């Protein structure tokens, strides 16, 4: 929508996320587009907690998806082009 960086804007209500008071604006900023995109994908897919899910690419979105999925109780598989992100992926909650 026009005005995304303005102080006020008009948006569809189902595109909005409520930010709890305990989360600062600085912390919430990192969850905007990347967080909403990955969270929506998890919420709207047919997989349910306990299912095995794979995250392709541990980048800006992928590292959030690994955290959301592992905390929601999915069995999380992180797929990367090398093993240099293995320690990070496991730290974020990936099982494999």
Ligand X SMILES: NC(=O)c1ccc[n+]([C@@H]2O[C@H](COP(=O)([O-])OP(=O)(O)OC[C@H]3O[C@@H](n4cnc5c(N)ncnc54)[C@H](OP(=O)(O)O)[C@@H]3O)[C@@H](O)[C@H]2O)c1
Please report, as ranges, the residues that interact with ligand X according to CB under 6 A.
Answer: 33-34, 37, 57-62, 80-81, 85
Distance CA 46, CA 25 (A): 32
DSSP characters for 34-68? HHHHHHHHHHHSS--TTSEEEEE--STTHHHHHHH
**Choice between 33 and 49, CB closer to ligand X:** 33
In angstroms, what is the minimal distance from the CB of 47 to ligand X? 19
In angstroms, what is the minimal distance from the CB of 84 to ligand X? 8
Q: Which residue is nearest to ligand X (CB)?
A: 59
């Amino acid at each position: 929508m026009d005005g995304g960086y303005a102080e006020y804007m008009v948006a569809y209500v189902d595109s909005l996320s409520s930010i709890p008071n305990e989360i600062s604006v600085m912390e919430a900023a990192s969850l905007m587009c990347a967080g909403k995109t990955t969270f929506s994908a998890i919420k709207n897919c047919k997989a349910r907690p306990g299912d095995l899910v794979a995250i392709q690419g541990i980048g800006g979105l992928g590292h959030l998806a690994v955290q959301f999925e592992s905390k929601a109780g999915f069995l999380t598989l992180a797929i990367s082009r090398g093993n240099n992100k293995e320690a990070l992926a496991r730290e974020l909650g990936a099982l494999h």
